């Protein structure tokens, strides 16, 4: 199974002049590889893809693929609310050597179920690459229903979904209707979702604590729910702390505190409120990360 375990939704490091900081990006990728992350995702929501140009997005995807050099799968974020743009980015990801593509439900347009199906099938039919759907109505204002997901799962190369509805019942309904691979899109729900059949997570927390997040998934996939539960509660403060403000503001603050990247975001995002840094520091110290 390609999509299993802990896939990290990588942040995109920037320099103070707002250029992509590839030196820091390399440190972050190496940190993941050294600590057992199962797969890497450049250019997702956590990677601030919304404020990357298409050329920058391609540079990031290519950089991560080359840095990883086949050691773990790379899942490229190639989604768009413009279907032709999504096809173009997904085609690039395949040509660059990505192992799969993550495509967010089209945002702002608010397509109906029929439009969602037509969008994803257009990409899947245009590019022969494993595709992971991404259902995150909190960001897109559009939810994919389990019946829609079940229909899309019949397309041969639509093989997985990142579920970020915040609902274990949604995951249960999906798995009851089809055999698509489900990964959690909410760190705090990884274990509950895996108990009902999900196979892992596309994680924000793994940027900071890759070894622990990967261990949680491995324990749960092995059926060691007691061990997975202990890891869940160990990580629970981090899961909450990384969302005290809009993602990826807190995770960038944490990674900067760890010396991996600089705490720089592109507008309209700004660095996390300074008064909240002690809360992040306490969490990092609790995990012996600083």
Half-sphere exposure of 161 (CA within 13 A, CB side): 30
134 has catalytic annotation: yes
Q: At what angle do helices 54-68 and 83-96 cross, to 10 degrees?
A: 30
200: left (phi over 0), alpha (psi -120 to 50) or beta: left
Annotated catalytic residue: which of 4, 25, 134, 199? 134
Integer Cα distance of 52 and 69 in angstroms: 23
Which are the contacts of 105, defined by CB distance < 8 A and separation ≥ 6? 79, 111, 116, 133, 134, 135, 136, 137, 140, 142, 143, 144
Integer Cα distance of 262 and 278 in angstroms: 17
Integer Cα distance of 203 and 208 in angstroms: 10
Half-sphere exposure of 110 (CA within 13 A, CB side): 3
Annotated catalytic residue: which of 58, 162, 199, 252? 162
Element of type H or E holding 40: strand 39-41
Half-sphere exposure of 124 (CA within 13 A, CB side): 21
Residue listed under structure tokens 């720089």: 264
DSSP letter for each residue of 222-270 = TT-HHHHHHHHHHHHHHHHHTTSSSTTHHHHHHHHHTTSS-----TT--
The residues that are catalytic are 134, 162
């Amino acid at each position: 199974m390609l999509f299993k375990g802990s896939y990290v939704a990588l942040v995109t490091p920037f320099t103070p002049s707002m250029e992509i900081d590839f030196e820091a990006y390399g440190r972050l990728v190496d940190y993941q590889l050294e600590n057992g992350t199962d797969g890497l995702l450049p250019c997702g929501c956590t990677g601030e893809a919304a404020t990357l140009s298409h050329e920058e997005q391609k540079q990031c995807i290519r950089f991560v693929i080359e840095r990883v050099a086949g050691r773990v799968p790379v899942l490229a974020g190639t989604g768009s609310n413009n279907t032709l743009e999504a096809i173009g980015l997904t085609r690039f990801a395949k040509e660059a050597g990505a192992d799969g593509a993550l495509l967010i439900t089209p945002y702002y347009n608010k397509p109906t179920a029929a439009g969602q199906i037509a969008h994803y099938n257009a990409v899947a039919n245009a590019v022969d690459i494993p595709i992971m759907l991404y259902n995150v109505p909190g960001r897109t204002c559009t939810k994919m229903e389990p019946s829609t997901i079940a229909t899309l799962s019949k397309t041969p190369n639509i093989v997985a979904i990142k579920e970020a509805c915040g609902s274990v019942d949604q995951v249960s309904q999906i798995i009851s209707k089809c055999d698509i691979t489900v990964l959690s899109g909410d760190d705090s729900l990884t274990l509950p979702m895996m108990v009902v059949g999900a196979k892992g997570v596309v994680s924000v927390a793994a940027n900071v604590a890759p070894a622990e997040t990967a261990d949680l998934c491995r324990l749960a996939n092995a059926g060691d729910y007691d061990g997975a539960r202990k890891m869940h509660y160990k990580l629970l403060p981090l899961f909450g702390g990384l969302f005290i403000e809009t993602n990826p503001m807190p995770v960038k603050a944490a990674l900067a505190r760890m010396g991996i990247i600089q705490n720089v975001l592109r507008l309209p995002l700004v660095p996390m409120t300074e008064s909240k840094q002690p809360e992040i520091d306490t969490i990092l110290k609790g995990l012996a990360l600083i």
